[in-house]
Amino acid sequence: MGVLERELAYHEKLYSGFAQMHFAKPAVRALRAHMVGRILARTGAGKQSRVLSLGCGIGDTELLLAPHVAEIVGLDLSPAAIRQAREDAARLAIANARFEQGTTADGRYALVIAIFFLHHLPDDELAALPGRLAGLLAPGGSFYSLDPSSRRLSGRVGRILIPWIMRRYQTPDERELEPEATVALFRNAGWNARAETYDFWSSPFAGLFPGWRTGYRAARRLDDSILKMAPLRRVGSNFEVIANRSR
Ligand SMILES: C[S@@+](CC[C@H](N)C(=O)[O-])C[C@H]1O[C@@H](n2cnc3c(N)ncnc32)[C@H](O)[C@@H]1O
């Protein structure tokens, strides 16, 4: 079995019920809403923007983003994920969201997003991605990604205290990424890119206590203070890459 087959097998199972149930819980919904606000704030995307989402899963972030942009196209390897995303778009009568099963995209977009996706790509595909993306972006377009950091303190603590929960949320091939090394892939391909720490502990909190929205919101507020401290920012949980083409 290759990486794609293993990814597919894992995600077909994840999206056969567990993900739908887990992602519908209040703290996870609040996390998704926070992510959407952050994507809009960091990229400047708005009502005129066509957006492509790589590895969109069941599209729960994309369906929250849809009312803020012109159009969103979600792409994912998993047929089960795409079925669910299409069903949810129809149920919610969201007409400007389209979901496609596959691994390659076409078209031109003002913004390409990749939420918890890059760390699932093998090293060679990750290295080639900035070059591939250049052909998908309209002039002045940007890229936004969110992935677990290899420096995250929550990962080290989690592997000691709750290794079975960590494993449940991870595919055999995924790994945490080093923020600066990931940004360097974009810079070396001619992008203007930077990394920012998204959170310290609020996203893992939502994973551990998915039913507790108030707890998540308190954790997120605390994160906003914690992340002002450089040593803690360095060991944050997830990092963003925000990039646009410089040449
Ligand atoms: C960790 S999940 C993230 C899903 C979603 N963005 C989210 O935030 O819930 C990674 C997703 O990438 C998809 N995937 C993995 N490799 C892929 C590839 N090469 N092309 C397209 N999708 C892929 C998987 O099916 C899975 O849905």
27-54 residue pLDDT tens:
999 999 999 999 999 999 999 999 999 9
Distance CA 57, CA 78 (A): 7
Neighbouring residues of 98: CB distance < 8 A, sequence distance ≥ 6: 71, 72, 73, 74, 89
Give the residue, by CA position, lying nearest to ligand 1 atom 7.
57
Give the residue, by CA position, lying nearest to ligand 1 atom 13.
55
Q: Is 80 in the pocket of ligand 1 (CB under 6 A)?
A: no
The terminus-to-terminus CA distance of the chain in angstroms comes to: 39
Give the mean pLDDT of 61-73: 98
Task: Write down the mean pLDDT value for the chain.
Answer: 96
**Per-residue DSSP letter, 221:** H
Write out pLDDT tens, residues 76-130. 999 999 999 999 999 999 999 999 999 999 999 999 999 999 999 999 999 999 9
Nearest Cα to Cα of residue 49 among 106, 114, 96, 101: 96
Distance CA 41, CA 35 (A): 10
**% the chain with pLDDT above 90:** 91
Q: Is 239 in the pocket of ligand 1 (CB under 6 A)?
A: no
Q: Is 61 in the pocket of ligand 1 (CB under 6 A)?
A: yes
Q: What is the pLDDT at residue 167?
A: 81
Strands lying side by side in the sheet with 50-54: 97-101, 71-76, 50-54, 109-115, 137-148, 238-245, 191-199
Query: Pairing mode, if any, of strands 238-245 and 137-148?
Result: antiparallel
Please tell me whether the overall predicted TM-score, pTM, comes out greater than 0.95 for this model. Answer: yes
Give the residue, by CA position, lying nearest to ligand 1 atom 8.
115
Q: Which tokens go with 12?
A: 């077909």
Q: What is the pLDDT at residue 134?
A: 87
Write out pLDDT tens, residues 135-169. 999 999 999 999 999 999 999 888 888 888 888 78
Q: What is the pLDDT at residue 246?
A: 58
